[in-house]
């Protein structure tokens, strides 16, 4: 491996791979270092489905949604792979912001229609609805297992050097850029680079340490599950369900998200309430009380599944206190972190923003600043 690099990306999950694609597409030299083998299950960018949920009203996120639709289409065309299944998304429950979301999406040219509970039940009988429903036909499911190889292949086609099984042991800021100590197949090497893009997911705080200030990150092990389909005639959108008040909802840990995963069942999970973990010391086993509560949810609200037939899943969230991302540049470090369980849909846009920061083309939106006011 070259020991003197221009731009090095640390972390080859979704965001690092997208940054490599975007930087290489600008004709810049870029090297991507990923500590694990392709297709690993240790982070947040694996599995066959992630919801492309357009349910935002914040103008920065809505603008990114519109750009994401275009970029995912571009990646599908260039990569020759289907990455987004447009099943639509339904948001339901007692969310007071559904009207704001509808107005913001329509203003951005994205479809959003309010349906009654009866209308929604007629379309999607596998889900129980008891409130008005916001239907967003432009939503659906993205496929991480297909998307990451496409991003890395397209990046390599444009000149990026993609390296797996290279673990960064230490990162230091030097007068002329950054210095990295890496483990490459059991050999310790020292690399230098003009700048580093840090997209290390759950390992971000471990890697950056005291190098630069940024909002606190909390790493949790999330435990959704795939439930077997009990109603083969039902059609399924992606869904997000906001709880109401009262005893009926007392067992809920958080809002619930879900989606169909072809060949695996209907995925459902609590959002961002798993146990705090060290990413190098995860159990990968579900927290029993949360899993039992998720089965109870499925029996009540997902009549199209068999709540007693399920396969648990394990992934990580790396979450900021305000659940906004960190996209910023501090000296020779470009940081992409804190995607808080809702970042995957924005992957190619995040890659573009990180490329802007790395090439000096422009800043990220202020809500993603590493120096934004702390929430305690």
pLDDT digits (tens, 9 = 90+) for 271-283: 999 999 999 999 9
pLDDT at 220 over 80: yes
pLDDT at 375 over 60: no
pLDDT computed for residue 164 by the predictor: 98
pLDDT computed for residue 268 by the predictor: 98
> Which residue, 345, 279, 338, is CA-closest to 314?
279
Find the helix packing angle between 98-107 and 59-79, rounded to 10°.
Answer: 60
Please state, as a whole number, how many other Cβ atoms lie within 10 Å of the Cβ of residue 188. 10
pLDDT at 337 over 80: yes
Average the pLDDT over 179-183 and give the result: 97
Average the pLDDT over 231-260 and give the result: 96
Average the pLDDT over 233-242 and give the result: 97
Contacts of 149 (CB under 8 A, 6+ apart): 38
Residue intervals of the chain classified under CATH 3.50.50.60 are 4-46+146-214+322-368
- Give the CATH number of domain 4-46+146-214+322-368: 3.50.50.60
pLDDT computed for residue 376 by the predictor: 40
Q: Residue 375: which H helix or E strand, with range?
A: none
Residues 292-324: pLDDT tens digits? Answer: 999 999 999 999 999 999 999 999 999 999 999
Average the pLDDT over 230-244 and give the result: 96
Contacts of 8 (CB under 8 A, 6+ apart): 30, 31, 32, 33, 178, 180, 191, 193, 195, 196, 197
The pLDDT mean for the chain works out to 96
DSSP letters along 58-114, please?
A: SHHHHHHHHHHHHHHHHHHHHHTS--EE---EEEEES-TTHHHHHHHHHHTT---EE
Helix, strand, coil fractions of the chain, as percent rounded to 5? 30, 30, 40
- Give the CATH number of domain 50-142+219-319: 3.30.9.10
pLDDT computed for residue 151 by the predictor: 98
pLDDT computed for residue 130 by the predictor: 94
Average the pLDDT over 242-270 and give the result: 96
pLDDT at 1 over 70: no
pTM, two decimal places: 0.96
pLDDT at 247 over 50: yes
CA distance linking residue 313 with residue 319, whole number of Å = 19
pLDDT computed for residue 25 by the predictor: 98
Residues 131-148: pLDDT tens digits? Answer: 999 999 999 999 999 999
Burial bucket for residue 159 (CB in 10 Å: 0-12, 13-18, 19+)? middle
Give the pLDDT band (50/70/90) at residue 185.
confident
Give the pLDDT band (50/70/90) at residue 256.
very high
Average the pLDDT over 50-63 and give the result: 97
Residue 375 corresponds to which tokens in the numbers above? 């929430």
pLDDT computed for residue 3 by the predictor: 81
CA distance linking residue 337 with residue 29, whole number of Å = 22
Average the pLDDT over 93-98 and give the result: 93
Residue intervals of the chain classified under CATH 3.30.9.10 are 50-142+219-319
Residue 68 corresponds to which tokens in the numbers above? 């994401």
The H helix count followed by the E strand count for the chain is 8, 21
pLDDT at 191 over 90: yes
């Amino acid at each position: 491996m070259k020991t003197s690099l221009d731009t090095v990306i640390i972390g080859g999950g979704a965001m690092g791979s997208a940054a490599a694609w975007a930087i290489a597409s600008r004709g810049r030299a870029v090297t991507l270092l990923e500590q694990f083998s392709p297709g690993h299950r240790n982070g947040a960018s694996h599995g066959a489905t992630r919801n492309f949920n357009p349910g935002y009203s914040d103008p920065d996120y809505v603008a990114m949604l519109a750009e994401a639709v275009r970029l995912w289409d571009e990646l599908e065309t260039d990569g020759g792979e289907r990455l987004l299944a447009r099943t639509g998304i339904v948001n339901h429950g007692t969310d007071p912001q559904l009207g704001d979301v509808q107005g913001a999406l329509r203003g951005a040219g994205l479809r959003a229609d309010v349906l009654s509970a009866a209308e929604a039940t007629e379309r999607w009988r596998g889900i129980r609805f008891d409130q008005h429903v916001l239907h967003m036909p432009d939503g659906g499911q993205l496929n991480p297992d297909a998307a990451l190889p496409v991003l890395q292949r397209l990046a390599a086609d444009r000149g990026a050097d993609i390296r797996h099984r290279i673990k960064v042991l230490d990162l230091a800021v030097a007068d002329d850029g950054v210095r990295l100590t890496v483990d490459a197949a059991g050999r310790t090497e020292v690399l230098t680079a003009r700048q580093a893009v840090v997209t290390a997911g759950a390992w971000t705080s471990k890697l950056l340490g005291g190098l630069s200030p940024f909002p606190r990150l909390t790493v949790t092990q999330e435990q959704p599950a795939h439930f077997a389909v009990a109603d083969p005639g039902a059609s399924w959108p992606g869904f997000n369900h906001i709880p109401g008040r009262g005893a009926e909802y007392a067992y809920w840990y958080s809002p619930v998200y879900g989606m169909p995963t072809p060949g695996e069942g209907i995925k459902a999970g609590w959002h961002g309430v798993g146990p705090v973990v060290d990413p190098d010391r995860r159990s990968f086993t579900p927290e029993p009380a949360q899993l039992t509560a998720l089965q109870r949810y499925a029996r009540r609200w997902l009549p199209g599944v068999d709540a007693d037939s399920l396969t648990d899943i394990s992934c990580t969230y790396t979450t900021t206190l305000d659940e906004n991302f960190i996209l910023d540049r501090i000296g020779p470090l470009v940081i992409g972190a804190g995607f808080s369980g809702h970042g995957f849909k924005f992957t190619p846009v995040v890659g573009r923003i990180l490329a802007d920061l790395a090439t000096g083309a422009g800043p990220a939106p202020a809500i993603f600043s590493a120096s934004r006011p702390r929430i305690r």
